[in-house]
Structure 1
């Protein structure tokens, strides 16, 4: 009788053997461990990539908010707030006009939009889109992060080169020179001082730039009457010197001379050019010669207090 056959056991499937090593733990405790691991992995990824980006986004928003408040103060002309945000550099220009409110914009500055351009370390660059009267444009504001907050490093103030005439019209000759001003369109209505009328051409102060202001000065009616008297005296002397041979300043046409002035109020001097219209003499007593225009230069001296002026020929009368 043959020996009984041993019981045969089927070998484990390869997949089941691998499953002993790959099978995940089960049960509530195992799921907690797995959840903690996933959270830890996400936080690690944020620490590497996301958190710095989120911090920079917030810092950028803070910088834009600072510029928005600052631009709003510039728009309403709150000089104290503007100066607090951006202290004007005294080595670049005087802040006398800014603080004394002697010159205010005729067409104000208005902010349309503020956007962040760059953020690097402790510095930020923000662009401000704005309008001044009918003109639109954009200006750059630079900020620096100092003492835990953003501060304006380069702002929206502009610099105007104030001539002596404008300073005089504003009531203080010491204001002549470079001066900080709020952006906007400015002009000065005529101001009379003694025998001189003063005004400025309209000018626009652009943020971050310098503009040269031109002031106009011309005599009042009283000053002009002195000039007309000087011209008449010059013509009379010339005719007396040349007699009937005057070919330049001949017969009177009844047309008053036109006067062109160039006055320097800083030196209290200037020039005046008179355009004198006359008719040349003719051999026929009943006829007149051609009309001629003569240009004669005069020197002008203004009194220190601008209450009077003198006008004298630049060249003496010479016989032809």
Structure 2
């Protein structure tokens, strides 16, 4: 779907932001680009939609050189979500979302229907939010609009450049959960830049860890956890893994779920940060666990603390 072949980007002052990058992203794959500031991850992302042109090398999209596409048509097929979402302040929420579909001359009735369906999927009731202006929304709500806007024209590719980093922790976690749900529904080929390893481990099918313009290691979250390629990778992952912000996978720890869960009962996602699980367990003997909006089981307090202890030893799952 997207292939970088020996791609480099060097600026006039001699700084090489990306150095001989070879990377292939398969159709429908969600890949997170992560690494220290200045490692080249955002430059790599921006070369896909030609906001930045490579100095050398080739980028293929669907087997075709990106340079051979007419640039506006290339970008119409790529949704783009930034940290600063830059909604048009004079337009309503639905008008912001419908900008690109209208430019592509999609049928208005279908555009309106898709806009409202996408809003519902990220928890924005169209009856409440469709006619509001961006200034009437919280930061998290504005970012949800940005995600929906990027998906509205049904692009093949989604580029996301640290989209949640400016949000408070609760809003950020909720948007991560929304994105996981959308990922399962739409299966877009996604490149996601983040500086947060926990976010990458939670969201990505595969992680590309970069340093000084080069790829240090690519692999699934589990591969990076189990087989880090050297001290740099171990340190980058280890900063978070032993902390209360570590991401825990509850799927192998749950017991069978009841037919119904009381509305007063706590519910946590299958992949949850340790501090959130501890907070839920402080008030409940057991909590319900859901995966993609589906209840998959329960975890009791004793099991939760066994998991937390295992995580502290670097295990995090049954052996």
TM-score, normalised via structure 1 length: 0.22
TM-score (ref. length: structure 2): 0.22
